[in-house]
Amino acid sequence: MKKIVYVLFVLFIVVYFSNCEKNYDLCHSKSQWLKDYFAELKSGNYPNIYAISWWHEDFDNTYFKINSSKRSLKTYKELVSDDIFISSCSFVNKKLVPVSGKIYHSSFPCFSGTEDEVTSQRIEDFESLVEKEIAWAYFSNNWMDSLVFPKNSIDIILEKGKTPFIRLMFRSVFEQNQEDPKYKMKDILNGRYDAAIIAWANEAKNCSTNLLVEFGTEVNGVWFSWNGYYYGGGTCDEYGDPNYPDGPEIFRDSYRHIIDLCNQQGCDNITWFFHFDVNDAPEEWWNNPIYYYPGDDYIDWIGVSRYGPFQRGDDYIEPKEIINKAYKKMQNVSTLKPYAILEFGVTEL
């Protein structure tokens, strides 16, 4: 009898740790990941993080939606009910400002795979799920055929009492990991799109609300066509400063040009974000976010994407390590700006 019990015990241990190694169902859970993540956020070790934004969408076979399980949803609701998480943006001189001791609670509330199907219902659905309002609604302004100011989307978001957060997505197709067939960063620099950008800026100025805007989402990720890989990478002698990598320099100057054009139109109601991914892809010296950064004179907030596992079976990284890496990377870009975790999420584990 003892021998049978011993054999069963050994089999249990083997199955348990085998499962942990492959899928870690028994070792980790989305619910616990959320608890650890939020505990780390509130630890006091990251005083410059003033905003978080959950990516509420399932893509590439992920289970990122916060209601991917009853347990995960219950945990998230409990965590964001803390008074530290606030649902209304504060502005000074038309710029978003951090609130001492607080963290803005926001989301991309599943505006579809194209990220631009903004509806009141989607905002209501997310807020109803988590029983907490969001400070801003995050959506994409895809250039596609041409740059058009997203007035309808902004009006919908304003009607819900939220601040619009616009991702200026310089793309004509949604396919990733390739050069865009239409849009080239150098065409921003040579003025080809000045008229469209100026028209966009004038509509932004006249829309009677404060806006949050970013250009070049996750710029250090080769999956997007504005990454420096498509513009010379680490080559230094084909554009601008001979001591600066051409790829990032072209992006940096393009973003500066967009902001300059907006400022010249008197469009002073935009808070500008610089958004990168915590992982450089490719992992090359020139692909560090610091080379893409337009500078403190141009940018108001620093933002980062930092997710947990995308797929069951991916390497598990403790939330403490995740946030710590993101924080250090933002500090490397600038120590003078407030920080935001612009995209975070985790699949069911």
The model's pLDDT over 170-218, given as tens digits with 9 standing for 90+, comes to 999 999 999 999 999 999 999 999 999 999 999 999 998 999 999 999 9
- Is the pLDDT at 18 greater than 90? The verdict is no
pLDDT at residue 69 in the model: 94
Q: Are 231 and 247 in contact (CB under 8 A)?
A: yes
Residue 135 within a domain: yes
pLDDT at residue 22 in the model: 36
Q: Are 120 and 65 in contact (CB under 8 A)?
A: no
pLDDT at residue 28 in the model: 79
Q: 178, 184, 284: which is closest to 234 by C-alpha?
A: 284
CATH number, position 299:
3.20.20.80
Residue 212 within a domain: yes
Average model confidence (pLDDT) across the chain: 93
Across residues 62-90, what is the average pLDDT?
Answer: 95
- Is the pLDDT at 316 greater than 90? The verdict is no
Instruction: Look at the chain and report how many structural domains it folds into.
Output: 1
Between CA 84 and CA 279 the distance in angstroms is: 28
- Is the pLDDT at 16 greater than 90? The verdict is no
pLDDT at residue 60 in the model: 74
Own/partner long-range contacts of 315-322 (Cβ < 8 Å, ≥24 apart): 316/24, 316/27, 316/28, 316/349, 318/36, 319/33, 319/36, 319/37, 319/39, 319/40, 320/36, 320/40, 322/37, 322/278
pLDDT at residue 2 in the model: 57
Q: Are 166 and 150 in contact (CB under 8 A)?
A: yes
Question: What confidence category does residue 313 fall into, taking pLDDT thresholds of 50, 70 and 90?
Answer: confident
Q: Which residues contact 105 (CB under 8 A, 6 or more apart)?
A: 52, 80, 85, 86, 87, 132, 133, 134, 135
pLDDT at residue 58 in the model: 84
Residue 8 within a domain: no
Cα separations (Å) of 71 from 66, 75, 93, 251? 10, 6, 42, 42
Between CA 219 and CA 147 the distance in angstroms is: 19
Between CA 338 and CA 151 the distance in angstroms is: 28
**Which of the pair, 85 or 7, is modelled with greater confidence?**
85
Question: What confidence category does residue 147 fall into, taking pLDDT thresholds of 50, 70 and 90?
Answer: very high
Residue 295 within a domain: yes
pLDDT at residue 4 in the model: 58
First and final C-alpha spacing in the chain: 36
Name the E strands within the chain.
49-55, 85-86, 91-92, 95-96, 103-108, 136-142, 163-169, 211-215, 270-277, 301-305, 339-344
Residue 206, token pair as written in the block? 């006249």
Taking the CB of residue 182, how many other CB atoms lie within 10 A of it? 15
Coil vs helix vs strand at 168 = strand
Residue 14 within a domain: no
Between CA 154 and CA 165 the distance in angstroms is: 9
Residue 349 within a domain: no
Residue 256 within a domain: yes
Q: Are 337 and 299 in contact (CB under 8 A)?
A: yes
pTM of the model: 0.92
Residue 186, token pair as written in the block? 């150098």
Residue 85 within a domain: yes
Q: Are 13 and 300 in contact (CB under 8 A)?
A: no
The domain in which residue 257 lies consists of: 29-344
Q: Which residues contact 90 (CB under 8 A, 6 or more apart)?
A: 96, 97, 99
